Homo-oligomer: A and B are copies of this chain.
Amino acid sequence: MANLDLRPLLQDNGSKIILYVWDGLGGIPAGPDGKTELEAARTPNADRLLSQGTCGLLEPVYPGVTPGSGPGHLGLFGYDPIEYQIGRGALEAVGVGFDLRRGDVAARLNFCTLDSKGRITDRRAGRLPTDESKRVVGRLAEAVQEVDGVQALWSPVKEHRALLVLRGEGLGDGLEDTDPQKEGVAPLDVRAVDDAQANLRTAALARKVLAQAMKVLASETKANGVLARGFAKRPHWPGFQERFGLRAAVVAGTPMYRGVARLVGMEALEATNEIARDVASLAAGWDKYDFFFIHYKHTDKAGEDGNFDAKVNYIEEADGAIPALEKLGPAVLIVTADHSTPTAMKAHSWHPVPVLLAAKTARRDGVREFNEIACLGGGLGLRPSTHLMPLALAHAGRLAKFGA
Contacts and interface: CB of A to CB of B under 8 A. Distances in A.
B66 A394 contact: yes
Contact of A390 (B6, B65, B352): B65
A265 interface: no
A400 interface: yes
A64 B364 contact: no
A311 interface: no
Contact of A366 (B63, B373, B390): B373
Interface stretch (A131-139, A212-220, A377-385): A377-385
A81 interface: yes
A400 B66 contact: yes
Interface stretch (A97-105, A203-211, A296-304, A342-350): A342-350
Contacts of A352: 379
B68 A399 contact: no
A384 B390 CA distance: 15
A330 interface: no
A339 to B, nearest CB: 9
B63 A383 contact: yes
B376 A372 contact: no
A20 B4 CA distance: 28
A82 B366 contact: no
B376 A68 contact: no
A365 interface: yes
Contact of A91 (B65, B83, B393, B404): B404
A237 interface: no
A67 B403 contact: yes
Given A28-B361, A361-B345, A387-B63, A81 B372 contact: no
A404 B88 CA distance: 6
B4 A401 contact: no
B401 A362 contact: no
Interface residues of A, number: 74
Contact of A393 (B6, B64, B85, B364): B64
A202 interface: no
Nearest to A391: B64
B81 A403 contact: yes
A80 interface: yes
Contacts of A384: 1
What's the number of copies of this chain in the assembled complex? 2
Interface string A291-334: 00000000000000000000000000000000000000000000
A13 interface: no
A379 B374 CA distance: 10
Contacts of A366: 373
A344 B397 CA distance: 13
Given A34-B364, A361-B28, A366-B373, A65 B1 contact: no
Interface string A61-84: 111111111110000000011110
A188 interface: no
A386 to B, nearest CB: 7
26 contacts: A1-B80, A2-B83, A28-B361, A57-B381, A63-B387, A63-B394, A64-B389, A66-B402, A67-B401, A68-B403, A68-B404, A69-B404, A70-B403, A70-B404, A81-B402, A87-B404, A342-B363, A347-B401, A350-B399, A351-B363, A366-B373, A372-B379, A376-B377, A377-B377, A381-B381, A381-B382
Interface of A: 1-4, 6, 9, 26-29, 34, 36, 57, 61-71, 80-83, 85-88, 91, 230, 342, 344-345, 347-352, 361-366, 372-373, 376-379, 381-384, 386-387, 389-395, 399-404
